[in-house]
Amino acid sequence: MARIELAPEVASDLERIVDHLTQHEASRIDERVAGLIDAIEVLAHSPLMGRPMRQELRELIVGRAAGGYVILYQYISEIDTAFVLAVRSQREAGYGNRDDVDC
């Protein structure tokens, strides 16, 4: 089973998502956040399930349309660890101002 490490910025990403959902009075906010956390936990059993990106990064798609999110991560098989780098809505343009992520 792979280990999962979260970048410190992931907490800010989740806070931004919750703030946005709250501001727009979205339904089932708790379920959406729980779904994101569950998806991250799935990486422990299936770390290669996300679609390949450049620079050995992967994207895991969670949900769809307005309720869809993308989890950016890198799996390093030599140490059996998935490093979760960012979480964003599918409708966001990118992963923000992350110096270490070039997508």
**What range defines the domain where residue 7 resides?**
3-89
Q: Examine residue 44 and state whether it is found in any structural domain, yes or no.
A: yes
Q: pLDDT tens digits for 64-84? A: 766 789 999 999 999 999 999
Question: Residues 15, 68, 91, CA angle at the centre, nearest 5°?
Answer: 80
CATH number at residue 78: 3.30.2310.20
Q: Regarding predicted confidence, which is higher, 76 or 21? A: 76
Q: Examine residue 94 and state whether it is found in any structural domain, yes or no.
A: no
Q: Examine residue 13 and state whether it is found in any structural domain, yes or no.
A: yes
Q: Has residue 48 got a pLDDT over 80? A: yes
Domain count, the chain: 1
Q: Regarding predicted confidence, which is higher, 63 or 84? A: 84
Q: Examine residue 98 and state whether it is found in any structural domain, yes or no.
A: no
Across 16-42, average pLDDT: 91
28 SS3 class: coil
Across 85-96, average pLDDT: 76
Selection from 55, 47, 57 nearest residue 86 by Cα: 57
Q: Has residue 101 got a pLDDT over 60? A: no
Do residues 89 and 101 lie in contact, with contact meaning Cβ atoms separated by under 8 Å?
no
